[in-house]
């Protein structure tokens, strides 16, 4: 394995079956274990790969590392559910408020917010949605445009998103097992467990980006809400189902890979087309799920701060998907598994409102550490405009529970101080595997991205309260 240094936190690894680009500062680069390169080489066995890279938050996943961007031409390329991830459409959403940090410094105010949010947003896996009146099939067919008007506070809730409706051939829905509809029906507007969260934060605007921040309606010490969730059972069960379908197809074609968990098929094949169309249905569910979570958060803020309280949308985007995009004057299928698209100002793929400025790229930290709002740079073209999707895990959930104590977790959350980051769990033991010690240093991750000229920081988001699912 040979590493070529291109400078500016950009390395190119010469692997047996192809080249892997890695964007990381020297410290992060040295932390990568050999297993991530083994997984990359297995991925590069998929024929006719155009490009593959890791962002600095890359870490081991199932079949493919989280933090991967992988590209194939649409006309003769491949699609891989393993390079999309099981939580199809998982992503981020940010809403702004008119509140200043000082308005919620009182712990009792934040506790009231947490309690109100839990009233509107189910955080228990066994709790059904509050929105049983919404036709789930309208949502998966039409995304945000499939929601009743009563759940769309204003036009921004439709326009300030990466995509309001992912279009696909609805006839493919006939291939779905009935159990997927059954399980997903009760989950619209629910948070889910693992690393999903709702976080109340305040902003520290980067001095060099004050003008851009103002255009986006951001100001120093502004209170915002960051939401991280995905397609819940719809995407998870779809992913599980098509893992079996692809594996059987690969066996029938005589296609093998050293990693049994890495599955793929030609885009033009029946399996490839079925998966792509159904994946778009999961993307529609995911963006609608975050929308309805945000709707519940809005209701909670109204309960605490009054009926005239509004939460304008800043942006909603995804970091687990495969999208048809035009690069190098031809259509390509860009897989992003734990990677965020960060388009620069003027790029034609930007939504109309953000065409001039470029869109906000939303990067979560880990519970107790900062998150970031970034803006893509023109130089991001070298990585198909992909940046990190978060801090990235440094150790497994099991290892975290073995190595980190609740006392250490409490110190990270500043428990007992005026600056305590409040959480909705009475016992931190239940969410110990999500402590900051489980993740890489997010500041090093952001430094890697900025140093590689992929994106710049617009604002740092400092946590004040977190709502986690169980």
Phi, psi of 463 (to 5 degrees): -75, 145
Residue 303 marked as a ligand binder: no
Residue 198 marked as a ligand binder: yes
Residue 197 marked as a ligand binder: yes
Number of other CB atoms surrounding residue 425 within 10 Å? 16
User: Look-up: residue for tokens 């379908």?
Assistant: 245
Query: In Å, how far from its chain's centre is CA 256?
Result: 30
- The 3-state DSSP composition of the chain as helix, strand, coil percent (nearest 5) reads 40, 25, 35
The one catalytic residue in 21, 95, 389, 425 is 389
What whole-number distance in Å separates Cα of residue 418 and Cα of residue 439? 25
Let me know if 10 is a catalytic residue: no
What whole-number distance in Å separates Cα of residue 274 and Cα of residue 293? 29
Residue 60 marked as a ligand binder: no
Residue 383 marked as a ligand binder: no
Residue 447 gets the label, from left (phi > 0), alpha (psi -120 to 50) or beta, of alpha
Residue 288 marked as a ligand binder: no
Q: How many helices (H) and strands (E) does the chain have?
A: 12, 19
User: Look-up: residue for tokens 């690069």?
Assistant: 327
Residue 451 marked as a ligand binder: no
Whether 182 and 207 have beta carbons less than 8 Å apart is answered as no
Whether 228 and 197 have beta carbons less than 8 Å apart is answered as yes
**Calculated CA dihedral for residues 252, 255, 261, 262, nearest 10 degrees:** -130
What whole-number distance in Å separates Cα of residue 37 and Cα of residue 213? 38
Residue 390 marked as a ligand binder: yes
Residue 231 marked as a ligand binder: no
Residue 61 marked as a ligand binder: no
Query: Which residues, other chains included, contact 381 with Cβ-Cβ below 8 Å and sequence gap of 6+?
Result: none
Residue 367 marked as a ligand binder: yes
Residue 468 marked as a ligand binder: yes
Residue 393 CB-density burial (10 A; 0-12 exposed, 13-18 middle, 19+ buried): buried
Residue 366 marked as a ligand binder: yes
Q: Look up residue 406 and give its two tokens.
A: 């609740």
What does each C-alpha distance from 368 to 233, 360, 420, 423, 439 come to in angstroms? 28, 22, 9, 10, 11
Residue 458 CB-half CA count within 13 A: 25
Residue numbering of the annotated binding site for Mn(2+): 87, 196, 228, 319
Residue numbering of the annotated binding site: 87, 195-199, 228, 319-320, 364-367, 371, 389-392, 468
Residue numbering of the annotated binding site for GMP: 195-199, 319-320, 364-367, 371, 389-392, 468
Active-site residue set: 389
């Amino acid at each position: 394995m040979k590493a070529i240094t291109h400078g500016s936190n950009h390395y190119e690894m010469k692997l047996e079956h192809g080249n892997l680009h890695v964007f990381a500062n020297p410290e992060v680069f040295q932390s990568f274990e050999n297993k991530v390169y083994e997984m990359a080489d297995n991925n590069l066995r998929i024929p006719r790969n155009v490009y593959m890279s890791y962002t600095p938050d890359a870490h081991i996943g199932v079949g493919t590392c989280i933090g991967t961007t992988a590209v194939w031409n649409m006309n003769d390329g491949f699609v891989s559910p393993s390079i999309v991830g099981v939580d199809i459409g998982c992503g981020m959403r940010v809403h702004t408020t008119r509140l200043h940090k000082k308005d919620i410094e009182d712990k009792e105010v934040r506790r009231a917010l947490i309690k109100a949010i839990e009233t509107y947003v189910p955080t228990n896996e066994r709790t059904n949605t509050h929105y049983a009146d919404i036709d789930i099939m309208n949502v998966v067919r039409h995304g945000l445009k499939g929601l009743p008007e009563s759940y769309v506070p204003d036009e921004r809730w439709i326009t300030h998103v990466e995509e309001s409706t992912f279009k696909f051939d609805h006839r493919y829905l006939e291939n779905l097992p009935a159990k997927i509809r059954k399980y997903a029906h009760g989950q619209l507007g629910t948070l889910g467990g693992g690393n999903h969260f709702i976080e109340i934060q305040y902003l520290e605007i980067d001095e060099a980006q004050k003008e851009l921040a103002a255009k986006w309606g951001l100001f120093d010490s502004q209170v915002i809400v960051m939401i991280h969730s995905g397609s819940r059972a719809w995407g998870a069960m779809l992913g599980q189902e098509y893992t079996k379908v692809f594996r059987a197809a690969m066996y029938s074609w005589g296609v093998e890979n050293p990693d049994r968990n890495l599955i793929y098929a030609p885009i033009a094949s029946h399996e490839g087309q079925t998966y792509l169309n159904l994946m778009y249905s999961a993307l529609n569910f995911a963006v609608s799920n975050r929308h309805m979570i945000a709707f519940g958060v809005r209701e909670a803020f109204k309960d605490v701060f009054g009926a005239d309280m509004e939460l304008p949308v800043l942006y909603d985007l995804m970091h687990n998907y495969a999208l048809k995009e035009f690069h190098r004057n031809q259509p390509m299928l860009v897989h992003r598994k734990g990677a965020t698209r960060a388009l620069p100002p003027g790029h034609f793929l930007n939504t109309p409102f953000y065409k001039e400025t470029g869109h906000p790229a939303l990067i979560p930290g880990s519970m107790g550490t900062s998150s970031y709002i970034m803006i893509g740079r023109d130089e991001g073209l070298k990585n198909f405009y992909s940046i990190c999707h978060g801090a990235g895990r440094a150790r497994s959930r099991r290892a975290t529970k073995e190595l980190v104590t609740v006392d250490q977790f409490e110190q990270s959350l500043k428990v007992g101080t005026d600056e305590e980051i409040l959480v909705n769990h009475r016992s931190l033991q239940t969410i110990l595997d999500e402590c900051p010690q489980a993740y890489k240093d997010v500041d090093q991750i952001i430094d890697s991205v900025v140093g590689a000229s992929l994106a710049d920081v617009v604002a740092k988001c400092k946590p004040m309260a977190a709502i986690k699912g169980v």
